[in-house]
């Protein structure tokens, strides 16, 4: 009799080893290696498409551009790059209870209402449970099919029978392939099921949306290969105690990877927030340490409030806390303020926060952070109708930023009267009327204009 062979596979990174180890050499996590049986006879690899079997010069390849499928949700369409591309494989991740199933069921309802057949497959809920959520969301259409199944081959049979335009799989960690011996959710099962769905999407030109669980670190659970295989990766962010949700695109082969969609969780589902700037500034406070900045989220400018609190410390090492911005960037800006402007911050605790729970990761917010810290340190409030823009260099200079025109127009639309910008960004575009542009060269110039000395 043949001896059964086993291997140990890391459930975080997919590292394989013939013997068990407490710590994975690949990712460094502890107790993530799980024993799996090595398959002796596997199915041969299948090509993604059978239409063409030989290489062709790229000039002879016929390009077929199909129109995108509109989801009926403008915020979701923006993040996807204009709609769902037929034949694409989309991965949606997020914390438990954040609203992944809700947004996909709402999207399925809108697509079915537009006469697109949709197959919603749930491996975590029964069809009756899905029906209860659908009734709450008002999703009731004959073109929306619901299936409670975890066998990937059974799902393919139903898919061939219904022939939908869009398929939702909730979630990939509950699916299993009969030819793989490991348990559902393991690296082997997730990899094989995702590859199977990818073959279906590419050969049948069906858009498939996959729900993925996340780890404690907020990353998609399973092997990193999962994110490489799909065409688009979306993250649904937000706190359970907050009604607002942010949908981000971190990978998109058919659009921008910096787009952001904002939704509000209501009793009857998710509601789109068409003007996020008004949302983030709705509870704005005019006090020392508060500054408004225009940040670009993809192609959309968003005005948010940056807050800073600087207080004396009684400890030898002052505390630095940053929420919504890069901690290292805040430390760099504080060093510039101390060296170039002369602020004694080495004995001060500093807390920097972005109001509204959004995260900003572009250098154009540097000057606003500096103004907020200086405003709190000097206990002088900035003007209520000011917006601050600019990147800070280590020598204290204010450097130019991108898309200044869109940022200024957004500030003007919301009623702001002055915008402090880098001097380099003053030329080369038509200035809008009704708003004053104040060019600055250094951080010291910006503080003089924003705080009056």
Q: Is residue 61 part of a domain?
A: no
Strand runs labelled E in 313-394: 320-323, 348-354, 386-388, 391-392
Q: pTM for this one?
A: 0.77
Sign of torsion over alpha carbons 332, 256, 97, 149: negative
Q: Is residue 354 part of a domain?
A: yes
pLDDT of residue 216: 67
pLDDT of residue 89: 96
Q: Is residue 50 part of a domain?
A: no
Q: Are both 133 and 197 inside the same structural domain?
A: yes
Q: Are both 147 and 285 inside the same structural domain?
A: no
Q: Is residue 64 part of a domain?
A: no
- Parent domain of 299: 278-451
Q: Is residue 49 part of a domain?
A: no
Number of domains making up the chain: 3
Question: Which residue reads 């590419």 in tokens?
Answer: 202
100 is in an annotated binding site: yes
Q: Are both 287 and 394 inside the same structural domain?
A: yes
Contact yes or no for 326/355 (Cβ under 8 A): no
Q: Are both 441 and 333 inside the same structural domain?
A: yes
Question: Which residue reads 């690296």 in tokens?
Answer: 187
Q: Is residue 201 part of a domain?
A: yes
97 is in an annotated binding site: yes
Q: What tens-digit pLDDT sequence spans the chain (453 residues)?
A: 456 678 888 877 778 888 899 998 888 888 888 887 775 544 444 544 444 568 889 888 887 777 899 999 999 999 999 999 999 999 999 888 889 999 999 999 999 999 999 999 999 999 999 999 999 998 889 999 999 999 999 999 999 999 999 999 998 999 999 988 888 888 888 889 999 999 999 999 999 999 998 876 667 766 677 888 899 999 998 866 678 888 989 899 988 887 889 898 888 889 998 888 888 888 887 899 999 999 998 888 999 999 999 999 988 899 999 999 999 999 999 999 999 999 999 999 999 999 887 889 899 999 999 999 999 999 999 999 999 999 999 999 999 999 999 999 999 999 999 999 999 999 989 999 889 999 999 999 999 999 986
Q: Are both 228 and 331 inside the same structural domain?
A: no
- Final residue in a domain of this structure, among 258, 274, 290: 274
413 is in an annotated binding site: no
pLDDT of residue 358: 84
**Cα separation of 350 and 344, whole Å?**
12
Q: Are both 254 and 385 inside the same structural domain?
A: no
pLDDT of residue 4: 67
Q: Are both 321 and 436 inside the same structural domain?
A: yes
Q: Are both 130 and 31 inside the same structural domain?
A: no
Q: Are both 158 and 176 inside the same structural domain?
A: yes
Q: Are both 422 and 303 inside the same structural domain?
A: yes
Q: Are both 251 and 174 inside the same structural domain?
A: yes
Q: Is residue 79 part of a domain?
A: yes
pLDDT of residue 53: 67
pLDDT of residue 39: 59
Question: Which residue reads 């001097």 in tokens?
Answer: 423
Contacts 24+ apart (CB under 8 A), 420-423: 420/367, 420/371, 420/386, 420/387, 420/388, 420/389, 420/390, 420/446, 420/449, 420/450, 421/389, 421/390, 422/389, 422/390, 422/391, 422/398, 423/398
Residue 85's CATH number: 3.40.50.300
94 is in an annotated binding site: yes
Q: Is residue 202 part of a domain?
A: yes
First to last CA, the chain: 87
pLDDT of residue 223: 65
Biggest CA–CA distance in the chain, Å, is: 87
44 is in an annotated binding site: no
Q: Give how far Cα 442 sits from Cα of 332, 395, 398, 431, Å.
A: 15, 9, 5, 22
95 is in an annotated binding site: yes
């Amino acid at each position: 009799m043949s001896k059964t062979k086993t291997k140990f596979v890391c459930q975080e990174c997919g590292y394989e080893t013939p013997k068990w180890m407490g710590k994975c050499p690949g990712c460094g996590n502890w107790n993530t290696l799980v024993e799996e049986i090595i398959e002796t006879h596997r199915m041969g690899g299948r090509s993604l498409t059978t239409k063409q079997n030989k290489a062709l010069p790229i000039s002879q390849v016929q390009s077929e551009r199909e129109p995108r499928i509109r989801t009926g949700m403008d915020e979701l369409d923006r993040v996807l790059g204009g709609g769902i591309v037929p034949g694409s494989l989309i991965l949606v991740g997020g914390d438990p209870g954040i609203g992944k199933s809700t947004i996909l069921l709402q999207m399925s309802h809108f697509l079915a209402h537009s006469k697109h057949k949709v197959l919603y497959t749930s491996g975590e809920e029964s069809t009756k449970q899905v029906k209860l959520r659908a009734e709450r969301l008002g999703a009731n259409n004959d073109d929306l099919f619901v299936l409670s199944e975890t066998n990937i081959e059974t799902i393919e049979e139903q898919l061939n029978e219904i022939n939908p335009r869009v398929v939702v799989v909730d979630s990939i960690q509950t699916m299993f392939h009969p030819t793989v011996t490991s348990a559902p959710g393991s690296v082997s099962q997730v990899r094989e099921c995702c590859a199977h769905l990818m073959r279906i999407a590419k050969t049948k030109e069906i858009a498939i949306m996959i729900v993925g669980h996340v780890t404690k670190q907020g990353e998609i659970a399973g092997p990193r290969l999962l994110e490489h295989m799909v065409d688009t990766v979306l993250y649904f962010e937000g706190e359970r105690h907050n009604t607002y949700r942010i949908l981000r695109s971190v990978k998109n082969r058919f659009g921008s990877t910096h787009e952001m969609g904002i939704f509000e969780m209501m009793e009857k589902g998710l509601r789109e927030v068409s003007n996020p700037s008004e949302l983030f500034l709705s509870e704005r406070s005019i006090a020392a340490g508060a500054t408004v900045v225009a940040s670009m989220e993809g192609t959309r400018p968003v005005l948010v409030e940056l807050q800073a609190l600087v207080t004396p410390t009684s400890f030898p090492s002052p505390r630095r806390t940053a929420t919504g911005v890069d901690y290292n960037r805040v430390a760099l800006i504080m060093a510039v303020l101390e060296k170039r402007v002369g602020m004694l911050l080495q004995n001060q605790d500093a807390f920097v926060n972005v109001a509204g729970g959004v995260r900003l990761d572009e250098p154009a917010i540097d000057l606003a952070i500096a103004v907020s810290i200086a405003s709190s340190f000097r206990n002088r409030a900035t003007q209520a109708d000011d917006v601050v823009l600019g990147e800070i260099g280590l020598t204290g200079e204010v450097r130019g930023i991108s898309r200044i025109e869109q940022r200024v127009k957004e500030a003007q639309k919301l009623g702001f009267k002055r915008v402090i910008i880098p001097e380099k960004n003053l030329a080369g575009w038509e200035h809008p009327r009704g708003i004053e542009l104040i060019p600055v060269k250094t951080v010291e110039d910006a503080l003089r204009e924003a705080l009056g000395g």
